[in-house]
Amino acid sequence: MSQNEWFYIIRGKKTGPVSVSDLTALVVSGRLQPTTLVWKSGMADWASASSIAEITAALPPPIPQSEIPQQRGQFTTCQNCGGWIVAFSHRDADGRVFCSRKCLHWFNGPRTFCGKCIAETTDESVGNLLRLNGIGAKLMGQGDRCPECGSVVSCLIVTVFYLPTVPLKRYRVLYTSPSSFHTRRLR
């Protein structure tokens, strides 16, 4: 049972008490921010909502990409992948917001292959092949992570009825968001 024990500060006014599920609903609706100060009996002082495990644990996980409509209302979107941020955002030193720690790293990390990775590959990218994904080509495996640019080695594999067949070619893959990446074929 969730009790009405939480207070929060909105526009300089103390509001509450409400339950954890009420707080969660306010966060999801965007009325409360991760930085909103909350307090309940037993806490020494007000603390930001995002620092309270009880609140973050009650939040739903991010909405799957496929469920997100094109139109973007008042929600904040991720600087890197453009996905909506429904729960708590990750902020970098310049105040940019991201949906996940991964997106933050991708955005601030290398956006291109390092010299060593370029040297061991050719300009040939997976390009059009992957757009045939529906009829069966995909990148599998993420090995040999480059310590400098973070690219990984994957095999391009043709699938027949979703069953992988022979590996075709090997590529270095540099991810820049959960669904976008650059590829260079290994020599």
Shortest gap between Cβ of 36 and Zn ion (angstroms)?
22
Read off the tokens for 127.
């390009």
Read off the tokens for 103.
């997106």
Decide if 85 contacts 99 (C-beta within 8 A).
Answer: yes
Of 41 and 66, the one with the shorter C-beta distance to Zn ion is 66
> Should residue 144 be labelled a site residue for Zn ion when binding is judged by CB under 5 A?
no
- Which one of 23, 52, 149, 173 is in contact with Zn ion (CB under 5 A)? 149
Distance CA 61, CA 58 (A): 9
Of 50 and 80, the one with the shorter C-beta distance to Zn ion is 80
Query: Of the ranges 2-10, 16-24, 110-118, 160-168, which one interacts with Zn ion (CB under 5 A)?
Result: 110-118
Query: Of the ranges 12-20, 56-64, 133-141, 145-153, which one interacts with Zn ion (CB under 5 A)?
Result: 145-153
Strand partners, 172: 153, 184
> Should residue 78 be labelled a site residue for Zn ion when binding is judged by CB under 5 A?
yes
Please list the alpha-helical segments (H only) found in 62-171: 101-108, 115-119, 127-131
Closest of 185, 79, 83 to residue 130, by C-alpha: 185
Shortest gap between Cβ of 116 and Zn ion (angstroms)?
5
- Which one of 114, 129, 130, 152 is in contact with Zn ion (CB under 5 A)? 114
Of 8 and 150, the one with the shorter C-beta distance to Zn ion is 150
Using CA atoms of 11, 12, 13, 14 in order, give the dihedral in degrees to the nearest 10.
110
Shortest gap between Cβ of 45 and Zn ion (angstroms)?
32
Beta strands in the chain (DSSP E): 6-10, 13-18, 37-40, 47-48, 90-91, 97-98, 121-122, 137-143, 152-160, 163-177, 180-186
Shortest gap between Cβ of 155 and Zn ion (angstroms)?
18
13-52 residues near Zn ion, rule: CB under 5 A = none
Contacts with Zn ion: how many residues (CB under 5 A)?
11
- Which one of 23, 27, 32, 99 is in contact with Zn ion (CB under 5 A)? 99
